[in-house]
Amino acid sequence: MISIKSKREIELMQEACKITAQTYDYIEKIIKPGMSTLELDNLAEKFIKEHGGIPAQKGYPSGIKGVPNFPGTLCISINDEVIHGIPSKEIIIKDGDIVSVDLVVLKNGYNGDAARTFLIGDVTPEARELVEVTKQSFFEAIKYAKPGNRIGDISHAVESYVKQFGFSVVKEFQGHGIGKEMHEEPGVPNYGKPGKGPRLVEGMTIAVEPMVIAGKSDIWELEDGWTIATQDGSLAAHYENTILITENEPKILTIL
C-alpha cells in the first residue's frame, strides 16, 4: 500500500533528509585518492551520528541465506560497480575513479535516501559525461513528478534521456517509496511506458534513482552477495534523491 504522508510526517522526514544532504556535502569535501572506502565509511558514520542521525543501511538484511547483513554505513561502488559496494580497507580510491555512494539516514523513525557519483581527480571525458547524464536524467524525470501523472511517466523520462547518449539503464533495480520504511510502495523503475503505473498523489514521498551504464545493461552480482557490477566492465553511475509530491512542483528533500 502506498503511504501518503501527513504534514507532521513530512516535517519529521525532512530532518532525516537534511542530514543525508549534509553528509554528502561533507563527503564531497573529504573524498580523495589514497583513501580507503572503509575510511570514508567510518568518517561518514561519525558525521551522521554527530548530527543526530542513524546510518539506516548498516545491518540491513540481505534476505539471502549465507549472505551477512550489510556491514557499512555507505554503499560505495567504484567504476564498473553499479550499487551496493561494501566498504573495505583493501579498496583504495584512485585518481580517475568515479565513486558512487548510496546513503540512507534514519531520524525520528523516518528515512532520507540519496545517492551521488563523485569524480575523483582527472577522469576521462566518457566518465564525466556518464555522471552528468545520470544526474540530469533525474531532473528530466522529476519534471513529471506531479499529481495526476503516473510512475511510468517518471520511469519513461529517465530511460528516454539516457538513451540519447548511447547509455543504458539498469532494469533489475529501481527507485521506491520511502518513509518509515527504507523501501515502500510504489516501485519506481528507470524504464517504462508513460501513462502506466500508480498515479502520483500529493503527500507521496519517493526515491527516484537513475542507475546508468555506459555500455550494455547486463549486470552481475559479485561473490560478496551484495555488490552489483556491469557484465561488460563498462562504467556505471548512480544519482538519487528523496522527493515529495506537492500540489505543484516536486520538492527535493535531500538537497540543501
The predicted pLDDT at position 154 comes to 98
For residue 67, being part of any structural domain is answered with yes
Q: Is 202 exposed, middle or buried (0-12, 13-18, 19+ CB in 10 A)?
A: middle
Q: Which residue, among 140, 144, 164, has the nearest Cα to 153 in the 3D structure? A: 144
Model confidence, pTM: 0.97
Q: Which residue, among 179, 197, 163, has the nearest Cα to 244 in the 3D structure? A: 179
pLDDT-derived band at 124, boundaries 50, 70, 90:
very high
Please answer whether residues 102 and 238 qualify as being in contact, where contact means their C-beta atoms are separated by less than 8 angstroms. yes
Which three cell numbers mark 151?
Answer: 510512475
The predicted pLDDT at position 13 comes to 98
Residue-wise pLDDT for 12-62, tens only, equals 999 999 999 999 999 999 999 999 999 999 999 999 999 999 999 999 999
For residue 217, being part of any structural domain is answered with yes
For residue 117, being part of any structural domain is answered with yes
Cα separation, 12 vs 193, in Å, equals 33
For residue 236, being part of any structural domain is answered with yes
Amino acid making up residue 136 = Q
What integer is the mean pLDDT of 226-253? 98
The predicted pLDDT at position 42 comes to 98
Which three cell numbers mark 145?
Answer: 513528478
For residue 146, being part of any structural domain is answered with yes
pLDDT-derived band at 155, boundaries 50, 70, 90:
very high
Q: Which residues contact 76 (CB under 8 A, 6 or more apart)?
A: 37, 40, 41, 85, 86, 87, 91, 99, 100, 101
For residue 2, being part of any structural domain is answered with no
What integer is the mean pLDDT of 149-168? 98
The predicted pLDDT at position 151 comes to 98
pLDDT-derived band at 201, boundaries 50, 70, 90:
very high
For residue 1, being part of any structural domain is answered with no
Q: Which residues contact 11 (CB under 8 A, 6 or more apart)?
A: none
The predicted pLDDT at position 178 comes to 98
User: Over the chain, what is the mean pLDDT?
Assistant: 98
If one counts the domains in the chain, the total is: 1
What integer is the mean pLDDT of 153-180? 98
For residue 122, being part of any structural domain is answered with yes
100: domain CATH number is 3.90.230.10
Domain interval for residue 206: 7-252
Cα 199 from chain centroid? Answer: 22
